[in-house]
Structure 1
Amino acid sequence: MSNPVDRFSSRVADYDKYRPSYPLDLINKLLEQSNLNQRSVIADIGSGTGIFSELLVNQGVKVIGIEPNDAMRHSAEDKLSHKVNFTSLKATAESTCLKESSVDVITAAQSFHWFNKDKTIPEFKRILKPNGILALVWNQRCVEQDFQIAYDEILGAYAKDYDSVNHKNLKDNEVPQFFDSNRMETYTYNNEQLFDYEGLLGRMRSSSYCPLPGTTEYSRLVKELEVVFNQFSLHGQVKFKYKSSLFIGPICC
């Protein structure tokens, strides 16, 4: 498997354009559970193109985006550099370069499954203030949807490392181990996107395991995806359904 830091370098435009955002209700719940004020600081780890950071920044919260991939970080900076409450750093989850006890909340949206947990958790403990909060967030595709079953079959056929890097490899019942015992709370919200065929193809290209354009696998994938789109589309669109999950609480001791 290639270096996780580099996997999205050629996919930034598709990632920023076609990846889903997160429900406002989820953001509001995170802020409510964190008891933040105007002096509070959130470190958004693995902030990517700034999809989640932007939602937090727009709520008036001070956010430090931590992202090691240059192309993704630059995309976030292009969008958010005019926001005085956003700071961007080239760093990793395992070594954030932040001061000890300097942040009130750590968020990781669609990114925690990429981290080295043995190194990340001690680093998170180091930078969190006493009584700080950890919030892990994922948009999880509703794979029981008939359309998603067909979509998954295409990925299984042509995305050679889909099974090894899929975030579903980190099961929900494993997540509590990263939180202080019995103090993690879980909230789930409905989320969806509507795609025409070009949008659906862009959504697939945004995934790190999708074959790159110009390869034989990509050409075959495109043909099969068009068949699936025509089978399930209604009025020229397919509905891409998600469950947006928030896991939040004090970090494990």
Structure 2
Amino acid sequence: MQDNTRRFSNRVDDYVRYRPHYPSQIVTELESQQLLTPGIQIADIGSGTGISAALFLEKGYPVWGVEPNREMRLKSEELLRDYPGFKAMDGTAEATTLPDQSVGLIVAGQAFHWFNREQCRTEFERILKPGGVVALICNERLTSTPFEKAYEQLIIDHGNQYLKVDHRNIDVAAIERFFAPGRVTLQIFDNRQVFSYEGLEGRLRSSSYMPAKGGPGYNEMVADLKKLFHQFQTGDRITIRYSTRVYWCRLA
């Protein structure tokens, strides 16, 4: 767990510039389900640089961002300094440091696969108010077009532990087990990023399982990425498509 909390320390700038955000419709949907109400306190667990926290802060909801990585936490404080409702906390999913029954909604954006599920379930139950909700959000990169298949293969070829840490290893059945006996609701939203070559390379660098710039294997990865970009680009641009999946459930 300690190693995982440091995985992104040398990738913060690329993470901020090139990681996909989340559709604003997520907030609208949670509001329509009466899961977000005025004054509700949100805890964003594994909040990173504040991508998921910003989604709710922009709509006026206060957010505690719980993040164990110092570099990412400091960046979130910098980027979200204009939101008085944001407070960054040094904590983990298993030990958030938040008070008992202090939050009405827990969100985890692109982070659940790093958690110890048994321990964080206990912690979530502790910090949630009665009837509180957990929403797990993830951008799942699609792999159906020729470019998407080739890009996935490049990541497999050059990635370090990609197949081990890929968030897609946690399937619906695992999520249902985590929430049991509660009933899980899944909402899916379309999402995409459009990149020049520079952006595509930055997107690749932002992933913790890919070679770091200047490190072993980086030049080889870039050589293959340039070939892939020139093969599939249209108008000097490449589109990465995502299925943004939101799983939510009330914890007993």
What's the TM-score, normalizing by structure 1?
0.96
The equivalent residue for 2:67 is 67
Secondary structure of 2:10 counterpart: helix
The equivalent residue for 1:165 is 165
CA 1:101 to 1:222, structure 2 compared with 1: closer, same or farther past 3 Å? same
Structure 1 position 29, deviation (Å): 1.1
Secondary structure of 2:39 counterpart: coil
Report matched runs for 1:75-94 at 5 Å: 75-94=75-94
Structure 1 position 182, deviation (Å): 5.4
CA 1:130 to 1:4, structure 2 compared with 1: closer, same or farther past 3 Å? same
The equivalent residue for 1:247 is 247
Within 2, Cα distance between the matches of 1:184 and 1:192? 25
Structure 1 position 69, deviation (Å): 0.4
The equivalent residue for 1:212 is 212
Structure 1 position 34, deviation (Å): 4.3
The equivalent residue for 1:130 is 130
Report matched runs for 1:184-223 at 5 Å: 184-223=184-223
Structure 1 position 30, deviation (Å): 2.2
Contact 1:20 1:193 in 2 (8 A): yes
CA 1:34 to 1:94, structure 2 compared with 1: closer, same or farther past 3 Å? farther
The equivalent residue for 1:56 is 56
Q: 34-43 vs 2-11, which deviates more?
A: 34-43
**1:75-100 deviation digits (Å, cap 9, x = unpaired):** 11001122111111111110001111
CA 1:182 to 1:120, structure 2 compared with 1: closer, same or farther past 3 Å? closer
Contact 1:180 1:250 in 2 (8 A): no
**1:137-173 deviation digits (Å, cap 9, x = unpaired):** 0000001222121111111111121111111111123
Within 2, Cα distance between the matches of 1:215 and 1:54? 32
Q: 138-147 vs 40-49, which deviates more?
A: 138-147
Within 2, Cα distance between the matches of 1:125 and 1:182? 13
Secondary structure of 1:10 counterpart: coil
Q: Give the alignment's Cα RMSD to 1 decimal.
A: 1.4
The equivalent residue for 2:47 is 47
The equivalent residue for 2:13 is 13
Aligned length, in residue pairs: 252
**1:96-133 deviation digits (Å, cap 9, x = unpaired):** 01111110000001001001112110000000000000
Secondary structure of 1:204 counterpart: helix
The code of the aligned residue for 1:25 comes to: Q
Q: Which runs of 4+ in 1 moved over 4 A?
A: none
Within 2, Cα distance between the matches of 1:70 and 1:57? 21
Q: 151-160 vs 90-99, which deviates more?
A: 151-160
Within 1, Cα distance between the matches of 2:79 and 2:213? 27
The code of the aligned residue for 2:193 comes to: Q
The equivalent residue for 1:225 is 225
Within 2, Cα distance between the matches of 1:198 and 1:72? 22
Within 2, Cα distance between the matches of 1:34 and 1:119? 28
Contact 1:30 1:248 in 2 (8 A): no
Within 2, Cα distance between the matches of 1:2 and 1:93? 12
Within 1, Cα distance between the matches of 2:26 and 2:56? 11
Within 2, Cα distance between the matches of 1:178 and 1:32? 24
Structure 1 position 180, deviation (Å): 4.2
Report matched runs for 1:107-122 at 5 Å: 107-122=107-122
Secondary structure of 1:38 counterpart: coil
Q: 110-119 vs 36-45, which deviates more?
A: 36-45
Q: 51-60 vs 155-164, which deviates more?
A: 155-164
Within 2, Cα distance between the matches of 1:2 and 1:66? 15
What's the TM-score, normalizing by structure 2?
0.96
